[in-house]
Amino acid sequence: MKVFKFGGASVKSADAVKNVSLILKKYKEEDVVVIVSAMGKMTNAFEHLINSYCYAKDEVKPALNNIIDFHNEILWDLFPNRSHQVYVLVNELVSQIEDLLEKDIDERFDKSYDTFIGYGELLSTTIIAQYLTEQGIEVNWIDARNLVKTNSDYRQATIQWDKTKEVISASCTKGIYISQGFIGGNNHNEMTSLGREGSDFTAAIFAYCLDAESVTIWKDVPGMLNADPKYYPNAKKLEKISYREAIELSYYGASVIHPKTIKPLQNKDIPLYVKSFLNPIESGSVIQQSDKFDTILPSFIFIKDQILLSITPRDFSFIAEGNISEIFKLIADSGIKVNLMQNSALNFSICIKNDERKVTKLIADLAKNFKVLYNEHVTLFTVRHYTEDTIKEVVGVKKVLLEQRTRQTARFILQEE
Ligand code: ASP
Ligand code: MG
């Protein structure tokens, strides 16, 4: 069995879906599980819908209409015959969303979030499965909510591996299957989600459970690059990468693959290919077991929209085990992920995503025992395998608020202009 993953960009329009179908035609006779994300930026659109439902009822209708209109445009192009059964299936999903929007809001935001967020994937896979069938590719649509079994940690659910393996291996045996990335189901038959951009992880889960021969992530870039071409136009492709290096890169924020993807693959020694859906015959990158591959090509990783918090005990005590554990308890409770930390005698600094709701609460919680200062609009910039020249090239004259270096990795917090 092979596992493929197609992300939002690869299915963002009718033409993009046609392209996916052309790629899959070549695998018609093979056994493949195809994991698909929500189309284009639809997960953001669903986040907007959920926020409206929870905090701004007036905006619910336009937010939902935006989602419906976006899918309709794709549907009309792919299925000119308006009596095609895909319209019935899509309408069914839309009425489920409408029914859910009528219900009372659960006070746990994350639970409400997971009730809706996966509809982007349910819609995309429904539309694409119907289109592939139309194109003569026999596919089985399977429901990840019944296959990827998780706990109830909404928005970042943990996989129950034994159960998941049991159901997935019983369900995917022969032929082509299509399922949703990013979502799962808990023991109460509720939908859960695995964290934004989690579809790569879903592909790895299926691969692990099926002892797949490989995973291929189809992207709009030619492979795993040493930088995001949006921020660094001279980006080059990394041909072969070890699991270890890939984990390091994704840990530091390289957005090509979701950080949780590598571990299940490494555990079963399953190679991961990153290939271009625009140019499918090109070789792409491969991530697999080896200590030899990693070249010394420097990799640049930019994480924008961060905030740097500087935390000082009010009673002038040193930063030590006791208060670090207090600080970390508050951070863990807030659900915030720390991207970089550093301490001095009286000061503990953390760099985190500037998620306003969570950060405001964290600062308030910390303020009881600590003085908290912050710098907004900062970028966390990491260079793996750095040289002084590569650092100079990117940091240039930017204001450096904090710097950290090990032998392989240099990290900078830069003030955005
Ligand atoms: N659609 C989800 C997201 O945009 C999952 C994914 O694309 O991997 O976060
Ligand atoms: Mg996506």
| DSSP-derived 3-state class of residue 20 | helix
Same domain, 63 and 193: yes
The reply to whether 333 and 191 lie within a common domain is no
Range 232-260 average pLDDT: 86
Residue 258 pLDDT more than 90? Answer: no
- The CA–CA distances, whole Å, from 286 to 4, 7, 177, 214, 283 equal 14, 18, 23, 10, 9
**Domains: count for the chain:** 2
52 and 201 in a single domain? The answer is yes
Q: Is residue 41 part of a domain?
A: yes
254 — pLDDT class (breaks 50, 70, 90): confident
Chain-centroid distance, C-alpha 186:
20
Q: Which of 200, 219, 238 is the last residue of a domain?
A: 219
Give the separation between CA 245 and CA 239, rounded to whole angstroms: 12
Banded model confidence at residue 294, pLDDT cuts 50, 70, 90 = low
Candidate of 182, 183, 255, 260 to mutate for ligand 1, largest count of ligand atoms within 8 Å of Cβ = 182
Structural domain span for residue 28: 2-219
- CA of 199, nearest ligand number: 1
> How far is ligand 2, taken at its centre, from the CA of residue 40, in Å?
7
Does a structural domain hold residue 283?
no
Q: What pLDDT was estimated at residue 295?
A: 64
Per-residue pLDDT, 251 = 83
> Which of the four pLDDT bands, split at 50, 70 and 90, describes residue 352?
very high
Helical packing angle, 42-55 and 119-134, nearest 10°:
140
Q: Decide: 346 and 318 in contact? Cβ < 8 Å.
A: yes
Instruction: Tell me what pLDDT residue 235 has.
Output: 87
CATH number of the domain that residue 69 is part of = 3.40.1160.10
Spell out the residues 6+ positions from residue 19 whose beta carbon is closer than 8 angstroms to its own: 10, 277, 278
312 shares a domain with 212: no
Ligand number nearest to the C-alpha of 45: 1
**pLDDT tens across 30-65, in order?**
999 999 999 999 999 999 999 999 999 999 999 999
Q: What is the pLDDT of residues 362-391, one digit of tens each?
A: 999 999 999 999 999 999 999 999 999 989
Least confident range of 203-207, 219-223, 251-255: 251-255
The reply to whether 306 and 212 lie within a common domain is: no
pLDDT of residue 253: 79
**Per-residue pLDDT for 293 more than 70?**
no
> In the 8-state DSSP scheme, what is residue 337?
P
196 close to ligand 1 (CB < 6 Angstrom) = yes
Examine the pLDDT at 288 and tell me if it is beyond 90.
yes
The per-residue pLDDT for 280 is 96
Q: Is the minimum distance from the CB of 198 to ligand 1 under 6 angstroms? A: yes
Last residue of a domain, one of 219, 254, 276: 219
Mean pLDDT for the stretch of residues 270-299: 89
Q: What is the pTM of this model?
A: 0.88
Mutate to test the pocket of ligand 1, among 11, 34, 43 (most ligand atoms within 8 A of CB): 43
**Domain-located, residue 273:** no
Ligand 1 touching residue 242 (CB < 6 A)? no
Q: Each residue of 69-106: pLDDT tens digit?
A: 999 999 999 999 999 999 999 999 999 999 999 999 98
Q: Which CATH number belongs to the domain containing residue 382 in this structure?
A: 3.30.2130.10
Residue 397 carries which DSSP code? T
pLDDT digits (tens, 9 = 90+) for 108-156: 999 999 999 999 999 999 999 999 999 999 999 999 999 999 999 999 9
- Which of 161, 195, 219 is where one domain is finished? 219
Q: How far is the CA of 79 from the centre of ligand 2 (A)?
A: 24
Assigned domain for 270 exists: no
Residue 292: its pLDDT value, please? 72
Provide the pLDDT confidence category of residue 213 given band limits of 50, 70 and 90: very high
Residue 271 maps to a domain = no
Q: 324-335 b/e with 16+ CB inside 10 Å = b?
A: eeebeebbeebe
- What is the reported pLDDT for 344? 92
